[in-house]
Chains A and B, each alone.
Chain A
Amino acid sequence: MTLYSRRRGKNAVVLGLSVAATAIGLGWLALILGALIWEAFLGLSLQVFTEMTPPPGSAGGLLNPIVGSLIMTGLAVVIGTPLGMLAGTYMAEYGRHSRLTHVVRFINDILLSAPSIVIGLFIYEIFVYQVGHFSGWSGALALAVIVIPVVVRTTEDMLLLVPDTLREASASIGMPRAHMISHVCYRAASAGLITGVLLAVARISGETAPLLFTALNNQFFSFNLNAPMASLPVVIFQFALSPYKEWQALAWVGALIITFAVLALSIAARALGSKEPL
């Protein structure tokens, strides 16, 4: 065998492997989504959205966990977004080259991928344990801690994309900096900022670990944020590990709802983000 054909052979083998790897990777993931849709459609009905979680052995729906998830996700976004946006604003507008910015960026990137169960422990320590009981508030706080790094990151990135000529123009007509940021920079980067919030919502809507010992779970419908609150991921966790057929079927349906919500949010964020800035 000549050197040339040996090199070509090696090349063909590796390229073949890379095609195979792609097929395996995508096939594997398609398999998961396929199984999810198949299993969940068997249990999907209107009942799921209108009835409470059932006691073992009877039929029911997922209304209270869906509402609980919506409430806690909404609160987490309301708490986390302003803080994250302001911090990102500082990093992109005021302290672009300051030491604080570099440190915060580094720490923020670590918080971005820190294990979420640890954040649950943190909120348990500083809130649940002090108050003495599990509550919807603590669940929302735990989720807010996860929202912050996502929003900080996208806010900084998006504000840095705003051309400096815009800033110079507004400074030249005597605009104070705070006005410039809120009336020019935020407006120019608005699509990107909303993308960040959508991504954050997508990130927390499937989070289970931080809710396990903050919001706990609640079998009944409840708007009371001072009491334990049901959430979709925790209910899925509980129902899937139970021995009851009805509960397991509901867990699959819940999993499908979350997956679709997350995919829809990511696609919306992507569509918004890919629009031309400005």
Chain B
Amino acid sequence: MAEVALQGRDFAQPAITSRSKALAKLRLSDAVFFQLTRGSAIAVLIILSGIIASLLYGATPALRQFGFGFLVSERWNPVTENFGAAAPIYGTVVTSFIAMLIAVPLGLLIALFLTELCPMWLRRPIGIAVELLAGIPSIIYGIWGLFMFAPFLQRTLQPALIGVFGDVPVLSTLFAGPPYGIGILTAGLILAIMVLPFVTSISRDVFEAVPPVLKEAAYGIGCTTWEVFRRVVVPYTRVGVIGGVMLALGRALGETMAVTFVIGNAHRISGSLLAPGTTISATIANEFTEAVGDLYTSALIALGLLLFVITFIVLAAARYMLMRLERRIG
């Protein structure tokens, strides 16, 4: 009824005014929608700056108290409220390094297999499997690491390492001590499995972007598959591969749950890879809810700020490199 009445009124009025009214209404809704979308885009920027600002604000008491010493001090004593970030930084860097040491060659070889060797019918299933596995939550890797992988390492790999390298000068300290099962090495290995799908899927995408003409030309003059890969594919995609590796590194540095389960959470820097340690994210996850006192909380937030800054730099570099490759391929 109301609609009919409305239409009737519209007819009664001169056509010009109703038309301009409708147009004005449309123009208004258009402007509102535009501002809404623009505001949302800006909100994304605000969220990022909000993260940085809130972490800076929260970290200020600890940073003011300890200054630069926060970065280099190994002490972490909640009772005397004396905090230093050296042990978590060391753990984060070493576990990520172990992870990349294993995941990068493995991932590149798998990508080589997928792009050059794999029969067509198998390519899609393996590719999908890799991508699905990249989506499995890290807590699953953590629980597997704790109950299956760590006891396994404790029984097999770790005693073997201690036995084999026991008499070698440098390596004996690197693999010293009782086999705990959990520790820095175990965390590094779990991280390696976790980032493997990332390295693989990005390098595969990048390798597939190489123009077939280039590869065919190389095959045409008699190159072997390895030579084509080494001399044509890798040079062409180098920037992209490095970008992908750094993206995976960003993941490894910030990974929390998989590491927290198996690192042992011990605040000390030990020469041995078999000893328990801690990482920045594991420290925050383990201690934040139990932190009493403003300085303790602030020290943990300062750790978070540190982690964010490190990953931000790594990820920004990764994106920059991937963008450069994209631009070149067009």
Contacts and interface: CB of A to CB of B under 8 A. Distances in A.
Given A115-B308, A178-B29, A240 B147 contact: yes
Interface in B117-174: 117-118, 126, 128-129, 131-133, 135-144, 146-148
B18 to A, nearest CB: 16
A236 B139 contact: yes
A91 interface: yes
Contacts of B141: 32
B54 A115 contact: no
Given A100-B41, A122-B54, A258 B304 contact: no
B144 A29 contact: no
Contacts of B105: 21
A8 B316 CA distance: 41
A251 B255 CA distance: 20
A262 interface: yes
B315 A209 contact: no
Dominant secondary structure of chain A at its interface with chain B: helix
B281 interface: yes
Contacts of B253: 115
A224 B270 CA distance: 46
B266 to A, nearest CB: 15
Given A25-B200, A208-B139, A118 B51 contact: yes
Interface in A20-54: 20-22, 24-26, 28-29, 32, 35-36, 39
B51 A122 contact: yes
Interface of B: 26-27, 29-30, 32-34, 36-45, 47-48, 50-51, 54-55, 57-58, 105-107, 109-110, 112-114, 117-118, 126, 128-129, 131-133, 135-144, 146-148, 193, 196-197, 200, 224-227, 229, 247, 250-251, 253-257, 260-261, 281, 284-285, 288-289, 300-301, 304, 307-308, 311-312, 315-316, 319
Given A208-B138, A209-B257, 5 more contacts: A18-B117, A36-B143, A119-B51, A148-B47, A266-B135
